[in-house]
Amino acid sequence: MATPDAGTAAAGPGSDPVARSRWVLARCAQHGFALAGIADAGPSSRAEEYRAWIDAGRHGAMAYLAEQVDRRLDPRVLVPGARSVLCVADRYADGRPDRRVPGVGRIGRYARGEDYHVVIRARLEALAEELLEAYPGERFRVCVDTAPLLEREHAERAGLGRIGKHSLLIGPRGMGSWLVLGALVSTVELAPVRADGGMPGGATVDADPCGACTRCIDACPTDAIVPWSVDASRCVSALTIEDRGTAAEWFAGRTEDWLFGCDACQEACPHSQPTVRSRRVATHEAYRAHRTGFPLLEVLGWTEDDWEAAQLNGVLRRAGHAMWRRNAALAAGSVLVDRASPAEVRDALGAQLSVVALNPSETPEVRAAARASLRLV
């Protein structure tokens, strides 16, 4: 949001940048964010890496990541005159292992409760209104994943955590990487304040949270991770949420029991394990799980009306009806090759996949996935 003319901040809470930052961070605490910090609105220090990642096609089906690159790499282009980036985070899970049920496809933990875009945006917009009242004439831009902003990099600068080899932000105090992020880009001059208590603009005591550990890399079912980079064209999460086309045949049998999203790298990360310490850190009530997954046989048989009746939240609806069924067909392949799964579950899924594969009126992406899974047996 913005007033017609951005200018110098009028008198508001705090007469200097440090006082203003203290007031803003106090308001963030009042709005219930688990973490909040402030970074300068400087350009990305990873611009060359980002452009190389795009040029190599590692953004996969997410074509929007190759758009507005200049804006994405510099918040001052996104918001002319920007001076500060307020970064916030909610914790949505504590890493407790799921109860795994043969034939049931899981959804990523971040998507099991309310839509985090809505939950975080509402509070950031309320905060922006407070700031606009305090500092008329300034500009504010709320960013919750959908704006062209490298949120993780700015969050790391603001001391909300450290980026791990799986490219996710690992929070302090046992929070792990079970975090969803938001940001408020502003023309108000705020003093940088790190959420972890480190020096503004400086590195944390241990800038590398991973050391020699490669558990996330080893746990990835599709070999999508190399240190500090993910190839989205191979990532199960990117496939099941973002890719609306026909999946590469080799995905069949390798997406494990993931129906929407994937937490494999986080489940393996030592920082994200449930411990006495991590359980002392609260998770936001809005993300309490409504359900953890859906039976694959059920999803394979979904009609459009069934998909609507499932009452999926805004995050889950990013994958359309055909995508859900395609994802279920791929996950079914993992069940077919798992001899530990009950025979009756494998037989029922195999029979349903055959029906889908032989149906000439079936959508191409669902039919192709069913055929690819059947070829595994």
> Cα dist. 289→72, 173, 182, 261 in Å?
32, 23, 21, 15
Element (H, E) at 234: none
Cβ atoms of residues 120 and 90 within 8 Å = yes
CA angle 277, 122, 113 (to 5 degrees): 50
Instruction: Name residue, tokens 């889908």.
Output: 356
Residues with active-site annotation: 145
Q: Dihedral sign, CA of 355, 361, 362, 365?
A: positive
**Sign of the C-alpha dihedral, residues 302, 305, 309, 312?**
positive
Query: Do 158 and 191 form a contact (C-beta atoms < 8 A)?
Result: no
Contact 129, 31 (CB under 8 A): no
In the chain, which residue ranges form alpha helices assigned H by DSSP? 17-30, 47-55, 69-73, 75-78, 116-134, 151-157, 215-219, 236-242, 264-268, 276-279, 296-300, 304-309, 321-336, 343-358, 364-374
Closest CA to 268 of 317, 331, 215, 319: 215
CB atoms near residue 292 (< 10 Å): 16
Cβ(256)–Cβ(108) below 8 Å: no
- Looking at residue 180, its amino acid is V
Strands 104-107 and 258-260: parallel
CA–CA dist 354, 358 (Å, integer): 6
Cβ count near 35 (within 10 Å): 24
